[in-house]
Amino acid sequence: EAQVTQNPRYLITVTGKKLTVTCSQNMNHEYMSWYRQDPGLGLRQIYYSMNVEVTDKGDVPEGYKVSRKEKRNFPLILESPSPNQTSLYFCASTRAGGIHEQYFGPGTRLTVT
């Protein structure tokens, strides 16, 4: 089954404690993205990757890092989380180039206290 998985699904943490949200896809997609979703603001892109070892900033990259060492995995790293990073996070993947369906992970609800 074609899918994007994310872990954990729910996380409560404290300010400053480094965390990683994993994302994995099994469709051999080149393009992967991380989004955050906040009330009234819709989905905003944090980082994206066009392929292995190719990553770039999206619209709201401050406070986040990513890596793309393997094609299937695209982890999101918060080195020093702050309360304003409390949000619902989605990973997504698609084939690069052309017009292709987007596949989203189930979401990770992060609360930073």
Per residue in 42-80, is it b (16+ CB within 10 Å) or e — as a string? ebebbbbbeeeeebeebebbeebebebeebbebbbebee
Interaction between residue 61 and another protein (CB under 8 A): no
Instruction: Identify the CA nearest to 25 among candidates 113, 106, 89.
Output: 106
For residue 52, the Cα-to-chain-centroid distance in whole angstroms is 15
Interaction between residue 40 and another protein (CB under 8 A): yes
For the chain, give the number of residues: 113
CB nearer to another protein: give 13 or 45: 45
CB nearer to another protein: give 16 or 106: 106
Least distance in Å: CB of 97 to another protein? Answer: 7
Interaction between residue 106 and another protein (CB under 8 A): yes
Interaction between residue 8 and another protein (CB under 8 A): no
Binding interface with another protein (CB under 8 A): 31, 33, 35, 40-45, 48, 50, 58, 88, 90, 94, 96-97, 99-104, 106-107, 109
